[in-house]
Amino acid sequence: MTLSLNIPRLETDRLILRGPEAADFEPLCAFLMDPVRSAGFGTEETRSDAWRWFAVNIGHWALHGYGYFTIEMKDTGQPAGISGIWNPEGWPEPEVGWVVFDGFEGRGIAHEAATTARDWAYNTLGFTTLTSNILPGNTRSVALAERMGAWFERSYDNVHMGAEMLYRHPGPDALAEGAA
């Protein structure tokens, strides 16, 4: 069996979205093991668990052809977070997700990255709709989803996170017509 990974490199004004690299592990691990920062994403208890998540993401790319990009700051080359399309076993449908690491909040990085990932999913992968699953109380993510034009559709029980709110993003046609 031959597995191929072909992860594109996407550029915005300030950011590069690219495939995960070994050097991304430490900042990712710090995020995943921080129970406060990763509460809305899914916390990993040990470094080994965090490493496994790093491998899960690469495997997700291999299986689906999409996954989480590392968000890299153009000016410094630092990893600032992750954003991409995620669709594990038991998920209601593919979602666009975003996370920024400690020290990178408040600059619109998540919005710039998530919008780019969503455009890529629509324009290159041919997705016609996308969701974002958000834990009740995660007001920052709700605000970002709404800024991206997404709306609350329903609550559901996520296999991993429990009760979550499903936000529906405007499709590619609606975006082309100017939604968000």
Partner 1 sequence: MQVTVTIPELETERLILRAYDDARDLDRFSAFMETDASRFFMGPMDRYGTWKLGCAIMGHWMRYGYGLFAIEEKATGEFVGLTGVWEAETWPHPELAWMLMQDKEGKGYATEAARRARDYIFNDLQWTSVVSAIEEDNAGSMKVADRLGAKPDFEHTRPSGIKVIYYRHPAPQTAMETVQ
Would you count residue 4 as binding partner 1 (CB under 8 A)?
yes
Among residues 31 and 172, whose Cβ is nearest to partner 1?
31
Q: Rounded to the nearest whole angstrom, what is the least distance from the CB of residue 160 to partner 1 in the complex?
A: 5
CB within 8 Å of 173: residues ≥ 6 apart = none
Look up residue 48 and give its amino acid.
S
Q: Is 167 exposed, middle or buried (0-12, 13-18, 19+ CB in 10 A)?
A: buried
Among residues 9 and 74, whose Cβ is nearest to partner 1?
9
Report 70-89 residues binding partner 1 (CB under 8 A).
Answer: 88-89
Judge contact between 106 and 97, C-beta under 8 A.
no
Spatial distance between the Cα atoms of 73 and 39, rounded to a whole number of angstroms: 24
Would you count residue 107 as binding partner 1 (CB under 8 A)?
no
Would you count residue 33 as binding partner 1 (CB under 8 A)?
no
Among residues 45 and 173, whose Cβ is nearest to partner 1?
45
CA nearest to 165, candidates 69, 40, 68, 42? 40
Task: Catalog residues that contact partner 1 under the rule CB under 8 A.
Answer: 1-7, 9, 18-19, 21-22, 25, 46-48, 50-63, 88-90, 159-160
